[in-house]
A and B are shown apart, each in its own frame.
Chain A
Amino acid sequence: DIQLTQSPSFLSASVGDRVSITCRASQGISTYVAWYQQKPGKAPEVLIYAASTLQSGVPSRFSGSGSGTEFTLTISSLQPEDSATYYCQQLKSYPPLTFGGGTKVEIK
Chain B
Amino acid sequence: QVQLVQSGAEMKKPGASVKISCKASGYIFTSYTLQWVRQAPGQRPEWMGWLHVGNGNTKYSQNIQDRVTITRDTSASTAYMELSSLRSEDTAVYYCARVGLAISGPDYYYYMDVWGQGTTVTVSS
Contacts and interface: CB of A to CB of B under 8 A. Distances in A.
19 contacts: A31-B109, A34-B112, A43-B95, A43-B118, A44-B112, A46-B113, A50-B104, A50-B107, A53-B109, A55-B113, A87-B45, A89-B112, A95-B59, A96-B47, A97-B35, A97-B47, A98-B47, A101-B44, A102-B44
Interface of A: 30-32, 34, 36, 42-46, 49-50, 53, 55, 87, 89, 91, 94-102
Interface of B: 35, 44-47, 49, 59-63, 95, 97, 100, 102, 104, 107, 109-113, 115-118
A contact patch SS: loop
Specify which of A42, A43, A45, A89 lies most central, judged by the most chain B CB atoms within 10 Å of its CB: A43
Contact of B47 (A32, A53, A94, A102): A94
B62 A96 contact: yes
A40 to B, nearest CB: 11
